[in-house]
Structure 1
Amino acid sequence: MWKEFKEFIMTGNVIDLAVAVLLAGAVGMVVNGFVTDIMMPIVGSVSGGVDFSDMKYVLSPAVVAADGTVTTPENAIMYGKWINSIINLIIVGFVLFMIVKAYGKVRAKKEEAPAPPPGPTEIDLLKEIRDALKK
């Protein structure tokens, strides 16, 4: 059983999958940083300086004791974080679209490479041998 597992792990597909998962995680971190640190401040300033992550609808406010401690926390719907997630999804989808589109162009160029001129086929060679033997 250990030998079968070792053979399975060492196949190219599993290693390719592992590399793809690691790269996807790294790309996800880069895109998330891009969205959070670059795009969201731009979107916020275009929309009048609104920070979407702070937007919420309070269902019940927090109850604060006389000494300043919170006895009952605030109950709120944090729809601003959801808006951030939607914007993040749109930007990630667009980035992936651009990557796939660029990959398609590169792949199409490789497929358009002219095929080498066809050489003589087996039948042509056999015909030449037959004709040479007749002479």
Structure 2
Amino acid sequence: MPAKIAPTRDDIAIALRAAHQSQKETDQPAPVIAAPVRRLEPDELAALMKRAKGLIEMGDFAPARLLLERAADAQEASAALLLAQTYDPAVLGTPDMRSITPDPAMAREWYQKAAMLGSLDAKQRLAQMQN
């Protein structure tokens, strides 16, 4: 039987450095790649907004929010503003039988996006929410 050769101190140090290096490489978060902005044609945007407003008037907030989110993701400030309002307790008022639950954090998030897209109303509402 051949005799086993014990690793040297240098062998252990090299193996340890290699293990740490591979650990550092796997610990790095994956780079975030921004999704390309989807642009909507003006008539498609107008149709989305009209449909969303109609759904909100009927109290059907869930599908309205989906439509508004699609329009907001296409960089439409008015859609982001309206979407924020569907979460804003100050806009929704008192709870009613439809049990639409306000979400101030979501409202703030969408107001911020609308403000970044240029909505002055969103900036004003954000300032009011701070007070």
TM-score, normalised relative to structure 1: 0.24
Indicate the structure (1 or 2) with the bigger Cα radius of gyration. Answer: 1
